[in-house]
């Protein structure tokens, strides 16, 4: 249906109004020619061989230098309970920042530093999802008008997200101007430039709005499964009788995280 009657299913005005404060005129929140243009530019960039190689490199470094050592030290103490959801979010977040901005927020560190930007982004996404789900949009509109409650929190969160984006862009611009020879910066400039590759627009298999990051997401999942489960057993630490509670947002979550204990697999070297 999405493939053959795509034009009949735009995101629509409602989604646009609900999502605008967070997503603006970005690809997730726009229809028509504006979407077509962004889609063409982005899908071209997402499909270059240099980006694919860079993604593999970034994910492998994050896995080897950060994820595996953290799991290994957790396994050494035996009693430590890790929130695996938080760990994997930090992993994915470091990766996407390095890939998209050539900037390393270093959120997946043994000290588990406060992930200010990631938390603000999560909160903004959660509140925006609430707007979309509600049957009474008047309420959030009124709250926005009065700048109270969830709408006040949304404004603050979006502010943090913007501040982070500006900081990263400024730092990168400076680095590029200084003609740094860092690989990541080199690749970032190639990632941002358009038209250097002769690879064609790749046709989608499930409609024109299919996720552009699908391949990147699968690559991360496969590398985590291969790199982690080969070495460690990830044992849920919650009581067997406790069912995980699903938190519905743009990104699906487990309420309260996913507590696990990490054990080394001795039988596989
Ligand atoms: C497990 C991880 C992921 C899942 C489950 C997922 C899922 C989705 C879904 C369902 C859509 C369609 C949304 C809609 O039409 O409203 C989408 C769109 C999109 N995704 Fe993902 N995604 C994931 C990871 C990523 C990553 C890592 C990136 C970027 C690096 C990404 C970039 C995009 C973009 C740019 C679109 C918009 C496409 C368009 O509107 O033309 N995604 N994703």
Phi, psi for 262 (deg, rounded to 5): -105, 130
Give nearest CA residue, ligand 1 atom 8: 211
Q: Report the Cα 184 to chain-centroid distance in Å.
A: 19
Structural element, H or E, at residue 222 = helix 214-229
- % of the chain with per-residue pLDDT over 90: 59
Q: Report the Cα 32 to chain-centroid distance in Å.
A: 25
Q: Domain containing 237 — which CATH number?
A: 1.10.630.10
The answer to whether residue 120 is domain-embedded is yes
Which range of residues forms the domain containing residue 15? 6-264
pLDDT band (50, 70, 90) for residue 171: confident
The answer to whether residue 1 is domain-embedded is no
pLDDT digits (tens, 9 = 90+) for 92-131: 999 999 998 889 999 999 999 999 999 999 999 999 999 9
The answer to whether residue 198 is domain-embedded is yes
Residue-level pLDDT at 238: 79
Query: Ligand 1: does its nearest atom lie under 6 Å from the Cβ of 88?
Result: no
The answer to whether residue 117 is domain-embedded is yes
Please name the residues in contact with 144: beta carbons below 8 A apart, sequence gap of 6 or more: 21, 151, 154, 155
Number of domains, the chain: 1
The answer to whether residue 269 is domain-embedded is no
pLDDT(250) > 70: yes
pLDDT(206) > 80: no
The answer to whether residue 148 is domain-embedded is yes
Give nearest CA residue, ligand 1 atom 41: 209
Residue 108 CB neighbour total at 10 angstroms = 25
- Greater confidence (70 vs 77) lies with 70
Is 246 in a helix, a strand, or coil? strand
DSSP character for 244? P
Flag the least confident range among 5-9, 140-144, 152-156, 241-245: 5-9
């Amino acid at each position: 249906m999405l493939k053959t009657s795509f034009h009949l299913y735009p995101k629509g005005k409602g989604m646009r109004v609900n999502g605008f404060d967070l997503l603006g005129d970005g690809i997730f929140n726009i229809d028509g020619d504006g979407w077509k243009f962004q889609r063409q530019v982005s899908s071209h960039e997402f499909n270059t061989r240099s980006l694919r190689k860079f993604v593999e490199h970034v994910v492998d470094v994050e896995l080897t230098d950060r994820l595996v050592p953290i799991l290994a030290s957790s396994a050494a103490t035996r009693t430590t309970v890790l929130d695996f959801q938080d760990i994997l979010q930090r992993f994915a977040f470091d990766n996407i920042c390095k890939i998209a901005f050539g900037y390393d927020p270093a959120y997946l560190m043994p000290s588990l530093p406060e992930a200010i930007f990631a938390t603000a982004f999560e909160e903004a996404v959660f509140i925006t999802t609430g707007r979309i789900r509600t049957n009474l949009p008047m309420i959030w509109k009124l709250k926005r008008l009065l700048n109270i409650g969830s709408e006040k929190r949304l404004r603050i969160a979006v502010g943090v997200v913007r501040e982070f984006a500006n900081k990263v862009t400024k730092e990168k611009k400076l680095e590029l101007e200084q003609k740094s020879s860092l690989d990541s910066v080199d690749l970032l400039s190639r990632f941002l430039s358009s038209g250097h590759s002769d690879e064609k627009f790749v046709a989608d298999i499930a409609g024109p709005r299919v996720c552009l990051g699908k391949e990147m997401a699968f690559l991360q999942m496969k590398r985590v499964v291969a790199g982690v489960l080969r070495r460690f057993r990830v044992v849920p630490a919650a009581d067997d009788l406790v069912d995980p509670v699903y938190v519905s947002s743009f990104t699906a979550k487990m309420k309260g995280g996913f507590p696990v204990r990490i054990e080394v697999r001795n039988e596989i070297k």
